[in-house]
Structure 1
């Protein structure tokens, strides 16, 4: 079984797609998959499906959705209903749990690579950390997690947490590439990322530094002014003081930009390893 939630929802067994098309059972499946191996209480599922005004038949309707999901699993896997209920879509502690170990599940792989990258950073293996993060980020497809599922409050919270994790990982991965001297190699990617994330100041700062280190001083200044123009027009706000300092450093050819760090990496705890050379004092 192959499960995808980092983008549109997809659950396939061989060539057969088993994810339901009707929105309510699709929501049930999505919330269970986002909480893979964890029990989702009946109350949480009802809240997701009907928000604050569930009908009197909510529990019965939820049981029907779960039954149909199990029935679809039996059709696609060849297991009996009893086997599916025991090993895959379980009833546990007044809730449900999707407990199957799929052959490939993008969310599991994403978290495994996330942990591997963090461990590599902890060991000061920046190249491996960047590679793990790059692989994790490549798992994402179009849009946010379960992009084609109409979210309620529970799914929306899970999706927001994953999106924050994704953006944090992206910040770290770009920072690692800059520390590894790959500023030229990531220019095209940063151009796309800053156009898609017009107000993400870390990405714009990283883009400015990558341009500057690649010898494109004027383009670095243009990147700052484009962000400033957009922020003033949209929100009436100036860029942050930190970003203004990067702009001033580009203007004055400040050598501190050769070592500047936009996103500090997490503090390493293992056996008090020494710190990575960090941000110049002026930043």
Structure 2
């Protein structure tokens, strides 16, 4: 059996779809799948389905939707009937539990691959990049793009989209450490066009362009980013990306690939993006201050939260 929420809602067996078509049962199915193997209370279901205006018959109507879902499940060959479906969509005290085994649910497969990738970061970046790539390929567009959403689903989907973006950035970081800057140029060009106020993506694009021997274009990226921030938000780039700008102007090991000199570190934690520059005269920033990782918010694995111009959190209404 297959259950999918990372894209259009799908419930299938041997490739044949059994997804309900009525809007409210679909919405309830999506809620149950995003909370698979956990009890979802009646009150949470009612809040999701009717928000602040539930009908007086909300509880009995909810039960009818659960029965519709069980009938849909019972048609699946591997379940084979309504009685068995009751053990998949179980009635629990005060709510319901949707039991999903193994890797039947796409979001569980995504989470498992992301965990493997994050455990491999810095130890085996090639493996980390591979696992992140596999995880991102599970997505088939915007999560639950064909399901109407109430407040509970909307809040959960914001977190899923944020996690997807974080994984994407971590995969790019791993590829930068692996020297794949040339291969990243097209992807980063597209991402910065899609998210014109996202600072850390622009910083990664600048680093990739510089390492590809295109420092002038790297500086052009910053200029366009600064213009968009001023025109759309009335803001200036952060000190981190301004520090990256200065590092690119000076050139050399501060923004070179890892391995070109001695690895930079801050408080003993290796910065994967830069090399240490020799100490300069008084008043001139040294390599520690010109660290491309610190200059851009590119940490040793996770992007800086709350950086200027994070992409909009997408929700589908």
CA contact (8 A) 1:41 1:94 kept: yes
CA contact (8 A) 1:46 1:58 kept: yes
Q: Does 1:238 align with 2:239?
A: no
Alignment match, 1:264: none
My pick for the range that moved more, 229-238 or 106-115, is 229-238
Mapping of 1:233-272 within 5 angstroms?
233-258=231-256
Mapping of 1:112-123 within 5 angstroms?
112-121=112-121
Displacement of 1:167 after TM fit?
A: 1.3
Q: Does 1:127 align with 2:126?
A: yes
TM-score by length of 2: 0.79
Mapping of 1:179-194 within 5 angstroms?
179-194=177-192
Closer, same or farther: CA 235–275 of 1 in aligned 2, 3 Å: closer
Mapping of 1:1-283 within 5 angstroms?
1-77=1-77, 79-86=80-87, 88-101=88-101, 104-121=104-121, 124-143=123-142, 145-258=143-256, 275-278=269-272, 280-282=287-289, 283=295
CA contact (8 A) 2:2 2:11 kept: yes
Once residues 35 and 187 of structure 1 are traced to their aligned partners in structure 2, the CA distance between those partners, rounded to angstroms, is 37
Displacement of 1:20 after TM fit?
A: 2.0
Displacement of 1:253 after TM fit?
A: 2.1
Once residues 134 and 25 of structure 1 are traced to their aligned partners in structure 2, the CA distance between those partners, rounded to angstroms, is 33
Displacement of 1:121 after TM fit?
A: 2.3
Once residues 240 and 118 of structure 1 are traced to their aligned partners in structure 2, the CA distance between those partners, rounded to angstroms, is 27
Displacement of 1:102 after TM fit?
A: 6.5
Once residues 102 and 25 of structure 1 are traced to their aligned partners in structure 2, the CA distance between those partners, rounded to angstroms, is 24
Tell me the SS of whatever aligns to 1:186: helix
Q: Please list every run of at least 4 consecutive aligned residues from structure 1 whose deviation after the TM superposition is greater than 3 angstroms.
A: 274-280
Displacement of 1:94 after TM fit?
A: 1.4
Tell me the SS of whatever aligns to 2:96: strand
Q: Provide structure 2 residue ranges, at least 5 long, that are not aligned to the other structure.
A: 259-267, 275-286, 290-294, 296-317
Displacement of 1:126 after TM fit?
A: 1.8
CA contact (8 A) 1:3 1:102 kept: no
Tell me the SS of whatever aligns to 1:249: helix
Q: Which structure carries more helix by proportion?
A: 1
Q: Which protein, 1 or 2, shows the higher relative CO under an 8 Å CA cutoff with sep ≥ 6?
A: 1
My pick for the range that moved more, 64-73 or 230-239, is 230-239
Displacement of 1:276 after TM fit?
A: 3.5
Tell me the SS of whatever aligns to 1:149: coil
Once residues 221 and 160 of structure 2 are traced to their aligned partners in structure 1, the CA distance between those partners, rounded to angstroms, is 28
CA contact (8 A) 1:89 1:98 kept: yes
Once residues 103 and 276 of structure 1 are traced to their aligned partners in structure 2, the CA distance between those partners, rounded to angstroms, is 35
Displacement of 1:104 after TM fit?
A: 3.6
Displacement of 1:200 after TM fit?
A: 1.5
CA contact (8 A) 2:32 2:40 kept: yes
Once residues 275 and 235 of structure 1 are traced to their aligned partners in structure 2, the CA distance between those partners, rounded to angstroms, is 34
CA contact (8 A) 1:2 1:102 kept: no
My pick for the range that moved more, 226-235 or 44-53, is 226-235
Tell me the SS of whatever aligns to 2:121: helix
